[in-house]
């Protein structure tokens, strides 16, 4: 990857990291610290505060991305980050839980993820874009892990208001990174692999395979939000650890879960066993929820349940974007990812509200039985999921291309024995090819790549 593209990728990944760190830091401690607010002893309102971010994120995510096509990537990102700053300040100054809810909703309304992804696509060539997107995915995963450990320790020094102030400061730093470090794109245009197209939304929403995955990410993050309403109290009630030392529980669990997650992902991707690994992870998540429901009154039961949960969560969180990429039509990948991300945000909102309501009116165990029902439905849907093709995606720059040339090129490349799907998009001057894994990274790969380039040249 050239220096300019590496700079763009790293700096934009840092935008995700700076923005998400402030969001994630409150998860493991908010439910307990919320009791310091007027009305914060009401679990329903606590759940609303956690979920409000996801609701407005879902509402504004796709519109922000589309607006960046018209008004400029950086301009839209500045607006979104400014909304995050204002929402963080509102939450930091709050003395009652209702004001925190308003602040969290304003934070979520600064939904710049799609605009940042589109800017990254402007700044990277097709052949390097997958690597750049992987940097962002890795940054989000690492940020989440760090926040579970850092959040409780940081809250001891700053309180929950201090974390909201920190979120505002991190958003200011993100603006400075956008202004002074992220390069300005020579030209901005729509990228079907990175942005949502309204014309393709209907097809994506009718795709049964993608709907299964969208329900899955919804259920996964609904259970996550519901868990963080209950587990902090459960750890505190069953041990001598106060909330500021809960990192001592999360840290070893996270390390152990990452150790088990890596070989599972390698086996799934490299040996074409992604569906069995995926179904196994969903089944493990169901087991984790049932364990939570039955063992929530036992400290070591909670530890065991958390370990099973994070092993499953890490595998699923890593697998789902890969499955979307493999199962979505090549020309609609950006739209499929947009719907997927919106489903995730809706899960955050629903999980916060449902978890708060059930914890307030019933019991901790009922919260996890609700989550177990979600996982049971997901598991049933997973069995009927189409086995994802063992492919990897490559993109090629075409330059100025007519519609007739694009159709001819798509047909010629699709006929190659090692190609699963090929789509040439004339408007974007881009060819997207899904190459079968048995050919990828083999001795033939260089020759195959040269053959595709030769066909591009002759067409």
Decide if pLDDT at 441 tops 60. no
* Cβ burial, residue 4 (10 Å; 0-12/13-18/19+): exposed
Second CATH level (architecture) for the domain 199-388: Up-down Bundle (1.20)
Listed by start position, the domains of the chain span 1-195, 199-388, 391-458
Sheet holding 391-397, edge to edge: 391-397, 430-436, 419-425
Give percent of the chain above pLDDT 70: 98
Q: Tell me the mean pLDDT in the region 141-161.
A: 90
pLDDT computed for residue 269 by the predictor:
80
Pick the CATH number of 391-458 from 3.30.360.30, 3.30.70.100, 3.40.50.1820, 3.40.190.80: 3.30.70.100
Q: Which residues of 344-359 are buried (b: 16+ CB within 10 A; e: fewer)?
A: bbbbbbbbbbbbbbbb
pLDDT computed for residue 231 by the predictor:
96
pLDDT computed for residue 444 by the predictor:
57
Decide if pLDDT at 443 tops 60. no
Torsion sign, CA atoms 42, 46, 51, 55: positive
How do residues 245-255 score in pLDDT, each as one tens digit? 999 999 999 99
pLDDT computed for residue 440 by the predictor:
54
Q: Which residues pair with 392 in a beta bridge?
A: 435
Tokens 């202004």 correspond to what residue? 179
Q: Tell me the mean pLDDT in the region 390-406.
A: 86
Average pLDDT in the chain: 90
Decide if pLDDT at 351 tops 60. yes
Decide if pLDDT at 446 tops 80. no
Cα–Cα distances (Å) from 23 to 144, 157, 389, in that order, read 9, 18, 35
- Please, which pLDDT band fits residue 74 given cuts at 50, 70 and 90? very high
Q: CA-CA distance, 276 to 142, in Å (whole number)? A: 25
This prediction's pTM? 0.91
pLDDT computed for residue 212 by the predictor:
96
Q: CA-CA distance, 364 to 348, in Å (whole number)? A: 18
pLDDT computed for residue 276 by the predictor:
94
Please give the backbone phi and psi of residue 38, each rounded to the nearest 5 degrees, phi first. Answer: -60, 125
Q: CA-CA distance, 292 to 201, in Å (whole number)? A: 37
Pick the CATH number of 1-195 from 2.40.100.10, 1.20.1250.20, 3.90.1150.10, 3.30.1340.10: 1.20.1250.20
**β 430-436/391-397 pair status:** antiparallel
Which of the residue ranges 178-182, 183-187, 219-223, 321-325 has the most confident prediction, judged by mean pLDDT? Answer: 219-223
- Please, which pLDDT band fits residue 218 given cuts at 50, 70 and 90? very high
Which distant-in-sequence residues (6+ apart) come within 8 Å of 414 by Cβ? Answer: 421, 422
Give percent of the chain above pLDDT 90: 58
Decide if pLDDT at 152 tops 60. yes
- Please, which pLDDT band fits residue 448 given cuts at 50, 70 and 90? low
CATH topology identical between 1-195 and 199-388: yes
pLDDT computed for residue 453 by the predictor:
83
Q: CA-CA distance, 166 to 159, in Å (whole number)? A: 11
Decide if pLDDT at 447 tops 80. no
Contact 222, 351 (CB under 8 A): yes
Q: Tell me the mean pLDDT in the region 129-146.
A: 86
3-state secondary structure string across the chain = CCHHHHHHHHHHHHHHHHHHHHHHHCCCCHHHHHHHCECCCCHHHHHHHHHHHHHHHHHHHHHHHHHHHHHCHHHHHHHHHHHHHHHHHHHHHCCEHHHHHHHHHHHHHCCCHHHHHHHHHHHCCHHHHHHHHHHHHHHHHHHHHHHHHHHHHHHHHHHHHHHHHHHHHHHHHHHHHHHHCCCCCCCCCCCCCCCCCHHHHHHHHHCHHHHHHHHHHHHHHHHHHHHHHHHHHHHHHHCCCCHHHCHHHHHHHHHHHHHHHHHHHHHHHHCCCHHHHHHHHHHHHHHHHHHHHHHCCCHHHHHHHHHHHHHHHHHHHHHHHHHHHHHCCHHHHHHHHHHHHHHHHHHHHHHHHHHHHHHHHCCHHHHHHHHHHHHHHHHHHHHCCCCCCCEEEEEEECCCCCHHHHHHHHHHHHCCCCEEEEEEEHHHCEEEEEEECCCCCCCCHHHHHHHHHHHHHHC
pLDDT computed for residue 192 by the predictor:
83
How do residues 255-274 score in pLDDT, each as one tens digit? 999 999 989 988 888 887 88
């Amino acid at each position: 990857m050239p220096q300019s593209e590496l700079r763009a990728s790293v700096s934009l990944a840092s935008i995700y990291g700076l923005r998400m760190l402030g969001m994630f830091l409150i998860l493991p401690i908010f439910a307990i610290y919320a009791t310091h607010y007027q009305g914060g002893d009401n679990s329903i309102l606590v759940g609303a505060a956690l979920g409000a971010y996801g609701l407005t994120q879902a509402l504004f995510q796709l519109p922000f991305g589309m607006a960046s096509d018209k008004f400029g990537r950086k301009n839209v990102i500045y607006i979104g980050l400014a909304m995050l700053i204002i929402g963080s300040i509102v939450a930091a100054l709050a003395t009652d839980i209702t004001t925190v809810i308003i602040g969290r909703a304003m934070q979520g309304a600064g939904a710049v993820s799609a605009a940042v992804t589109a800017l990254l696509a402007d700044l990277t060539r097709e052949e390097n874009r997958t690597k750049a997107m992987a940097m962002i995915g890795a940054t989000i995963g690492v940020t989440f892990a760090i926040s579970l450990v850092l959040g409780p320790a940081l809250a001891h020094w700053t309180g929950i208001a201090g974390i909201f102030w920190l979120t505002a400061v991190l958003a200011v730093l993100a603006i400075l990174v956008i202004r002074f470090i992220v390069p300005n794109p020579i030209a901005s245009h729509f990228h079907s692999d990175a942005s949502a197209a309204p014309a393709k939304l209907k097809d994506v929403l009718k795709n049964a395979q993608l709907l299964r995955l969208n329900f899955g990410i919804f259920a996964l993050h609904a259970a996550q939000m519901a868990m963080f309403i209950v587990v902090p109290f459960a750890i505190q009630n069953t041990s001598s650890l106060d909330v500021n030392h809960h990192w001592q529980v999360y840290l070893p669990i996270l390390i152990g879960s990452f150790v088990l997650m890596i070989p599972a992902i390698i086996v799934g991707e490299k040996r074409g066993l992604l569906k069995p690994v995926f179904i196994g992870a969903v089944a493990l998540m169901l087991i984790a929820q049932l364990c939570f429901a039955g063992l929530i009154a036992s400290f070591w039961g909670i530890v065991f349940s958390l370990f099973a949960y994070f092993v499953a969560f890490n595998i699923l969180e890593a697998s789902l974007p890969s499955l979307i990429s493999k199962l979505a039509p090549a020309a609609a990948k950006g739209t499929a990812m947009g719907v997927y991300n919106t489903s995730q945000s809706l899960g955050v909102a629903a999980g916060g509200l449902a978890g708060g309501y059930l914890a307030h009116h019933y019991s901790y165990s009922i919260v996890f039985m609700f989550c177990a029902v979600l996982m049971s439905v997901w598991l049933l849907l997973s069995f009927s999921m189409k086995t994802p093709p063992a492919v990897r995606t490559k993109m090629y720059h075409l330059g100025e291309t007519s519609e007739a040339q694009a159709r001819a090129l798509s047909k010629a490349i699709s006929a190659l024995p090692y190609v699963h799907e090929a789509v040439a998009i004339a408007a974007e001057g881009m060819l997207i090819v899904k190459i079968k894994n048995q050919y990828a990274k083999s001795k033939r790969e260089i020759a195959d790549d040269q053959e595709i380039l030769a066909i591009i040249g002759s067409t």
